[in-house]
Amino acid sequence: MAFALEFFLRRISQGVLIVLAVAFVIFTLLRIAPGDPIRIILGPMATPSAMEETAERLGLRDPIPVQFLRYLGDIARGDFGNSFIRGKQGGTTGGSQDAAGAPPVERAAVIELIARALPYTLLLAACGFLLACLVSIPLGILAGVRNSGWPQKVALYLSSFFVSLPNVWVGIVLIYLLSARTGWLPAIGYQHIGYVVIPAIVVAVELAPVMIRSISVAVATNVQDPFYEIGQVRGLSARIMLFRHVLRNAAVPLLNSFGAQMIGMLLGGLFVVEYIFSFPGIGLLTINAVFQRDFPVIQTVAIFASTVLVFINIAVDFASTTIDRRLKF
Amino acid sequence: MAAEPLLKVENLSICLGSAGAARPLISNVTFAVKPKSVLGIIGESGAGKTLLSRALVNWVRPPLVITAGRVIYRDRDLLALPETDMARLRGREIAYIGANPTTALDPTVPVGHQIEEKLRTIEPGLSRQAARKRVVDLLDAVRIPSARSRFDEYPFQFSGGMMQRAMIVDALISNPKLLVADNITQPLDVTVAAQILRLLRDLQRDFGTSIVFVSSSFGTIVDIADEVVVLDKGSIVEAQDTGRIQRNPVHPYTKDLLAKVPRLWHGVGSIPEANAEPVVLSVRDVAKTYAVKDRTSLFRKNRVQAVRGVSFEVRRGESLGLIGESGCGKSTLSRLLSSLEPPDHGAIEVNGVDVATLRGAALLSMRRRFQLLLQDPYTSIPSHVSIGATIAEPLRIHRLASGRGLREQVCGVMQDVGLSPDLYDALPVGLSAGQRQRVNIARAMVLEPSVLILDETLSALDQVEQARLLDLFDNLQRKHGITYLYISHDLAMVRRACARIAVMYLGKIVEIGDNETIFGEPAHPYTRTLLSSVSTVEEKPFLPKDYLLEGEPPDPIHIPEGCSFRSRCPFVIETCRNVEPPLSPRAGGSAAACHLGLDRLPAPSIVLKAHNGSDLKRMDSL
């Protein structure tokens, strides 16, 4: 108990620092990188004085640390700001505003935009991850236990094949085959659960090779550990040893590669896939926000993503040390 | 004992590989195990002992192939049984315990739970509570302290000895008819090994289990077995009952094996003597404490007192032995001495210079004079670098040689340690453990050190190779005047190699003296306990019944008040509980930390003559 309490206190306080650092870097980079959001808000015909006025009003002419502190203060009050571009209904208003501009309250709160997009992303991520698990867990375990023979070959060939497919290409081919050509499945946008199938397959194809590889390596390492064979000499069946002991031990490196590698891949993959399929999740929101220099949206998504990563890693480490008490974090 | 044998091995042969390229490892082995008796199998490393003991539980995996023979257990040939039937015998009627208990169980599940899991697999009807109770009772029976709480502890929290007890519980929980014990005492400290042997004898008597006890130590086999089978290069050369094989071994190999058993008291040969050269290494009141996270409380750390005030001196060209059980602080001390870590307090002086004051170039050149050799010859040299380059590396680091001179120097030192210079460009892949250890020695010697710290350097080697390397160390010492610090738990080796010996217990030196005093007339009960626990084939002056105690040293976090040995000392008096005995000098430069005088300890059971070189060839009468 004391261990868990101390662990979470320590790790969460470290995590907050990491998220703050990420937020500051993103915040600064956005403002020093080329591309003026005012030009996009007001459109190409705006006068310099109107642009200056809008920039002043949005606080973009203050020194960056001042802007950042103000931003943090707003977040502390639960206000992640409003989009520069998007209206309440979610449509883009950029370029159509006059010099006075619609008052900022008319534009959508970032938090609402994210809340609207998040369920779609979670659905896609869950389906993609589940699909990847369905293929890679059985195949990875089989390949790990039988270090020679067909499961290992299948695993190797399948993951080499998958890993060499760019997800953009897979997406387009699948749209052509499953949607345009045959009309079996819808592909663009989202109206019902059917729209998630093709993008989920693309996400799964990206995740599966990494998962097959890590699972088979982790299982193979533990099958070679003396306790696996000795367990059978002690009178336990190979089945019990595999499912109760080898998988338990293999879970630790798997959790770690999940926390460190796969979550990152999943996030990155989602962005691309959502964009290809116009899938209305966080990824699409973010990519559009980047094109439109919509600072508040980009910042919030970055903070949100780093928070998710930090917390998943805290959870992974806690799970690892619960499974294997030798580990110290 | 005219009963039908429980297990019969008939004409068993095992080969490595198949068909034409097959290399026989076990040839035509035949023996029988009587019910309720202990059969000892002895042989040197590489004789095929482990393979044979695995064949008894039908655990031989490719590329090893059983080419002929039968293993008959109660009228059934185990080798011909279908795997499912064999699985029904393994762990139930036939149990197996291996040499390495620390890797035998799943490291992530508490020890007791795994034994319970096995019990409930074997007897599916048993309730969790009943199974748990049986495991705890048996853990109690093998004298694991506070068995109930130990039940929930993980393998890494068990010491080697405790873990081997747990494996014995695991084997005996199903009341097996036959127990195959493969070298189970080898990795253990002498005191613990002696306890395990005694335990196994008691259990064998109580449970009526037959035991096949495999070992490479004659002393251990003699201690436990009723009958002995001698295995040489995969064949049985002699089989007799224990008493007879000690008195009249028939086969030359058996005689040789018996003669090679190191002697501690009878016919030990010449013993190194202390000299009067200047002091090279002086250690004064050195201490080291590690802080370890305490899982049960918030932000608290436990203080592990690994070394608690150690002082000694070593003279030029002298060998000092540091002995003690695992966990007594030997290895921490070697880390401090080789300045891998600084001590918390106290001073280490080399030729009168305090090491802690050295920085930069001065420290580097001091390190050059001070080399450390470790136990594991496999992990201590890189496998992808040629032998010559490995040995040459220190010269490059210290910028002592380059080009042709470097190669010559390396070849010279290779010849010195008995490695052919032809190996210069070879990779260490095919080298034996002994040859690898020679590479290590060469790598240290190439810097012409004045002090070598040998931290269990010879422990991983078999007796023959050990003896060769000890000779090598002797020669090098004579040639270069090197000072050795042997850190070891091997008493026989220390007896042969060291002029002075220090005994450590729980981070302190409890006794220090010259070789003759420590082995002949030790004044500390712990020294005597160590000597009484050695498995030998000779008569011992200190008997286990007087000294050997159960249990292990207290953990170095909670060291008891008073004398640190009092929790295991059979002669404890009132003073010991409160007053920590200082290391008080005795005659002849020896010192012991004990409140009791020699007169209050039992007299040695045999009187030893003073040894000298003259009785070198004298053989033992047993």
Residue ranges of domains in chain A: 2-107, 113-323
Decide if pLDDT at B193 tops 60: yes
CB atoms within 10 A of CB A263: 19
Strand partners, B283: B312, B348
Decide if pLDDT at B380 tops 80: yes
Going from the C-alpha of B590 to that of each of B512, B522, B563, the distances in angstroms are: 6, 9, 19
**Chain A residues within an 8 Å CB radius of B96:** 233-234
**Is A10 an interface residue toward B (CB < 8 Å)?**
no
**Is A6 an interface residue toward B (CB < 8 Å)?**
yes
Per-residue pLDDT tens over the stretch B454-479: 988 887 777 778 888 888 898 888 88
Top pLDDT among A302 and B268 is at A302
Residue A10's closest chain B neighbor by CA?
Answer: B299
Decide if pLDDT at A34 tops 60: yes
Preferred mutation among A147, A234, A323 to probe B, highest tally of B CBs within 10 A: A234
The structure tokens 């918390």 sit at B344
Q: Would you say residue B478 lies in a domain?
A: no
Per-residue pLDDT tens over the stretch A252-282: 999 988 888 888 888 888 988 999 999 999 9
Per-residue pLDDT tens over the stretch B290-326: 887 776 777 778 888 889 999 999 999 899 999 988 7
Mean pLDDT of B593-602: 87
- Which of A6, A226, A323 is closest, CB to CB, to B100? A226
Mean pLDDT of B24-31: 90
Per-residue pLDDT tens over the stretch B104-130: 999 999 999 999 999 999 999 999 999
**Chain A residues within an 8 Å CB radius of B122:** 235
**What local confidence, expressed as pLDDT, does residue A91 receive?**
60
Q: Would you say residue B245 lies in a domain?
A: yes
Going from the C-alpha of B9 to that of each of A36, B77, B501, the distances in angstroms are: 88, 9, 46
Decide if pLDDT at B620 tops 90: no
Shortest CA gap B436–chain A (Å): 25
Decide if pLDDT at A315 tops 50: yes
Q: Would you say residue B538 lies in a domain?
A: yes
* A308-322, B25-39, B324-338: least confidently modelled range: B324-338
Amino acid at A325: R
Mean pLDDT of B91-109: 90
Decide if pLDDT at A131 tops 60: yes
Contact A328 B293 (CB under 8 A): yes
Residue B298's closest chain A neighbor by CA?
Answer: A2
Contact A324 B122 (CB under 8 A): no
| Same domain (yes/no): B248, B330 | no
Q: Would you say residue B400 lies in a domain?
A: no
Per-residue pLDDT tens over the stretch B28-75: 999 999 998 999 999 887 788 889 999 999 888 878 888 899 999 988
Amino acid at B171: A
CB atoms within 10 A of CB B522: 27
Helix (H, G, I), strand (E, B) or coil at B303: strand
| Same domain (yes/no): B278, B256 | no
Distance from C-alpha of B172 to C-alpha of B207, rounded to nearest angstrom? 9
Residue B165 binned pLDDT confidence (cut-offs 50, 70, 90): confident
- Which of B59, B106, B174 is closest, CB to CB, to A227? B106
Mean pLDDT of A105-113: 81
Decide if pLDDT at B621 tops 50: no
| DSSP code at position B425 | G
Top pLDDT among B618 and B400 is at B400
Mean pLDDT of B141-156: 85
Residue ranges of B 32-91 with Cβ closer than 8 A to chain A: 57, 59, 87, 90-91
Torsion of CA B106, B110, B116, B120, to 10 degrees: -60
For B299, counting Cβ atoms within 10 Å of its Cβ (0-12 exposed, 13-18 middle, 19+ buried), the class is: exposed
Contact A235 B104 (CB under 8 A): no
pLDDT > 70 fraction of chain A, expressed in percent and rounded: 94
β-sheet with B508-514: strand ranges across: B370-373, B451-455, B483-488, B319-323, B500-505, B508-514, B591-592, B584-585
Contact B106 A249 (CB under 8 A): yes
Contact A233 B91 (CB under 8 A): yes
Decide if pLDDT at B614 tops 50: no
Q: Would the ipTM clear 0.85, i.e. be above it?
A: no
**What local confidence, expressed as pLDDT, does residue A90 receive?**
57
Mean pLDDT of B503-522: 92
**What local confidence, expressed as pLDDT, does residue B115 receive?**
95
Decide if pLDDT at B408 tops 50: yes
Distance from C-alpha of A143 to C-alpha of A162, rounded to nearest angstrom? 16
Q: How does DSSP assign B229-257, residue by residue?
A: EEEETTEEEEEEEHHHHHH---SHHHHHH
Distance from C-alpha of B119 to C-alpha of B458, rounded to nearest angstrom? 40
Going from the C-alpha of B369 to that of each of A75, A161, B279, B303, B618, the distances in angstroms are: 62, 57, 15, 33, 40
The structure tokens 């590889």 sit at A213
| Same domain (yes/no): B283, B252 | no
Token representation of residue A54: 């809008």
Tell me the average pLDDT of chain B: 86
Shortest CA gap A150–chain B (Å): 19
The structure tokens 């170039």 sit at B361
Residue A251's closest chain B neighbor by CA?
Answer: B108
Q: Would you say residue B155 lies in a domain?
A: no
| Same domain (yes/no): B252, B333 | no
Q: What is the CATH number of the domain that holds B47?
A: 3.40.50.300
Q: How many cross-chain Cβ pairs, A to B, lie less than 8 Å apart?
A: 79
Distance from C-alpha of B351 to C-alpha of B347, rounded to nearest angstrom? 13
Contact B298 A236 (CB under 8 A): no
Omega into A103 within 30° of 0, i.e. cis?
no
- Which of A3, A240, A326 is closest, CB to CB, to B107? A326
Architecture of domain A113-323: Orthogonal Bundle (1.10)
Report chain A's C-alpha Rg in angstroms.
Answer: 24
| Same domain (yes/no): B206, B97 | yes
- Which of A6, A227, A233 is closest, CB to CB, to B57? A233
Residue A25 binned pLDDT confidence (cut-offs 50, 70, 90): very high
| pTM for this predicted structure | 0.80
Helix (H, G, I), strand (E, B) or coil at B325: coil
B183 touches B149 (CB < 8 A) = no
**What local confidence, expressed as pLDDT, does residue B33 receive?**
93
β-sheet with B279-293: strand ranges across: B301-315, B279-293, B345-350, B353-354
**Chain B residues within an 8 Å CB radius of A237:** 87, 121
Token representation of residue B576: 């010991």
- Could you tell me where the DSSP H helices lie in chain A? 2-32, 37-42, 48-57, 64-76, 110-145, 150-163, 167-174, 197-224, 226-233, 238-240, 247-257, 263-276, 282-291, 295-323
Q: Would you say residue B119 lies in a domain?
A: no
Residue B618 binned pLDDT confidence (cut-offs 50, 70, 90): very low
**What local confidence, expressed as pLDDT, does residue B613 receive?**
41
| Same domain (yes/no): B187, B215 | yes
Domain residue limits at B489 = 274-295+302-361+485-622
Contact B154 A326 (CB under 8 A): yes
Helix (H, G, I), strand (E, B) or coil at B567: coil
Residue A92 binned pLDDT confidence (cut-offs 50, 70, 90): low
- Which of B59, B156, B174 is closest, CB to CB, to A233? B59
Token representation of residue B581: 């005995």
Token representation of residue B350: 């080399």
Decide if pLDDT at B4 tops 90: no
Amino acid at B537: V
Top pLDDT among B480 and A44 is at B480
Contact A234 B170 (CB under 8 A): yes
Contact B92 A235 (CB under 8 A): yes
Contact B156 A236 (CB under 8 A): no
Residue B609 binned pLDDT confidence (cut-offs 50, 70, 90): low
What is the count of structural domains for chain B? 2
B347 touches B524 (CB < 8 A) = no
Preferred mutation among A8, A11, A233 to probe B, highest tally of B CBs within 10 A: A233
Helix (H, G, I), strand (E, B) or coil at B261: coil
| Same domain (yes/no): B222, B331 | no
Preferred mutation among B108, B153, B156 to probe A, highest tally of A CBs within 10 A: B108
Strand partners, B180: B96, B212
Query: Per residue in A157-170, is it b (16+ CB within 10 Å) or e — as a string?
Result: ebbeebeeeebeeb
